[in-house]
Amino acid sequence: MGIDAAALLLDVTLAATVVALGWRCVITADRFETVAVFIGISLVMAIAWTRLEAPDLALAEAALGAGLNGALLLAAWAETRGIEDGPAERRIAGPALLAATTMAVAGAGLAPLVGAEAGLAAEIAARLDQTGVSYPVTAVLVDFRALDTLLELCVLLAALAATWQLGAARPLLRGKLYGPVFVAYVRIALPLLVVLAAALLWRGATSPGGAFQAGATLAAAGVLLLLVNPAGRVPALSWAYRICASLGVLAFLGLGTGVTAVTGRFLDWPLSHAGALVLVAETAATVAIATTLALLVVGGRPVAQRGRVGKRH
């Protein structure tokens, strides 16, 4: 009883914190506060999700929401300081009405679902032995709904291509982090992150983890690597980037088409080799996700710099 009450208190506190931060984030007049509070929400949310039996999702949320988007939001805030679009925001009634309607419809839709049960957990558990992996979420991602994952990798690639056409990358933080302490830190952190990514990928077959968590971790390692550079220059490795970023889509398309000859269906892994094929596809996806996320942080096409770096402000 005591434990239950404590758990309830924890859940209510977490939920209330997230909601309070969420409203604070959209109400505050200070743009920096908006960004900082949003990063905070992402982190608290990750804790909340572990309470909901979703540690792997929490990891992905912390890496993508707080890490990737947090870094990009801070960069965008720094570069748009002083050129805020439009006049001050005074409207209250219309937005409040919109928010109330949305919440009412969502609440009405969700209310009957309390205590009701519908889902495919049992069916999926019963067929796990036909998939080559034993963790249900990974099985859904790479086998039952592999087409979703293929398209998701395409979304990442499309976002990267769209970002690249906007122009050349500018130096990351202009090398402001560079120094002996940071270099020593990267020397220790980089191998740890790579090992962690490999562990997450390998564990994904049997327990929470998988290509996305591993890719996000590896992307963090990649960003560190790009930051260890006195001028903050991003090396212009066009070919390597292009191939690494496409590797996931290429693997899913290639293997998916290849197995069609054996099993007669696109992305239908033959049972005898399912484990190995899935591992290859997931490894390729990990490399692609890591490359793409790291390059999205860079935010432009990495090109060879001639002479001086960029334009000074």
Binders of other proteins in range 68-107 (CB under 8 A) = 68-69, 72-73, 75-77, 79-80, 83-87, 89, 91-92, 94-96, 98-100, 102-103, 105-107
* Residues contacting 80, CB < 8 A, separation 6+: none
C-alpha–C-alpha distance, residues 288 and 294, integer Å: 10
Of 147, 240, 262, 304, the residue at the interface with other proteins (CB under 8 A) is 147
Of 201, 205, 209, 212, the residue at the interface with other proteins (CB under 8 A) is 212
- Of 31 and 229, which has the nearer Cβ to other proteins? 31
Minimum gap (Å) between residue 112 Cβ and other proteins: 5
C-alpha–C-alpha distance, residues 68 and 215, integer Å: 12
Minimum gap (Å) between residue 307 Cβ and other proteins: 19
Of 54, 194, 228, 280, the residue at the interface with other proteins (CB under 8 A) is 54
- Tell me: does residue 121 bind other proteins (CB under 8 A): yes
- Tell me: does residue 282 bind other proteins (CB under 8 A): no
- Tell me: does residue 49 bind other proteins (CB under 8 A): yes
- Tell me: does residue 307 bind other proteins (CB under 8 A): no
Which single residue is written with the structure tokens 């269906």?
265
- Tell me: does residue 9 bind other proteins (CB under 8 A): no
- Tell me: does residue 309 bind other proteins (CB under 8 A): no
Minimum gap (Å) between residue 117 Cβ and other proteins: 5
Per the document, the length of the chain is 313
Q: Which residues pair with 168 in a beta bridge?
A: 301
Minimum gap (Å) between residue 235 Cβ and other proteins: 18
- Tell me: does residue 175 bind other proteins (CB under 8 A): no
Site for other proteins in 185-204 (CB under 8 A): 185, 188-189, 192
- Tell me: does residue 257 bind other proteins (CB under 8 A): yes
CB 21 within 8 A of CB 41: yes
Minimum gap (Å) between residue 84 Cβ and other proteins: 5
Site for other proteins in 220-249 (CB under 8 A): 242-243, 245-246, 249
C-alpha–C-alpha distance, residues 46 and 55, integer Å: 8
Of 1, 2, 3, 110, the residue at the interface with other proteins (CB under 8 A) is 110
Site for other proteins in 26-45 (CB under 8 A): 26-27, 31, 34-35, 38, 41-42, 45
- Tell me: does residue 134 bind other proteins (CB under 8 A): no
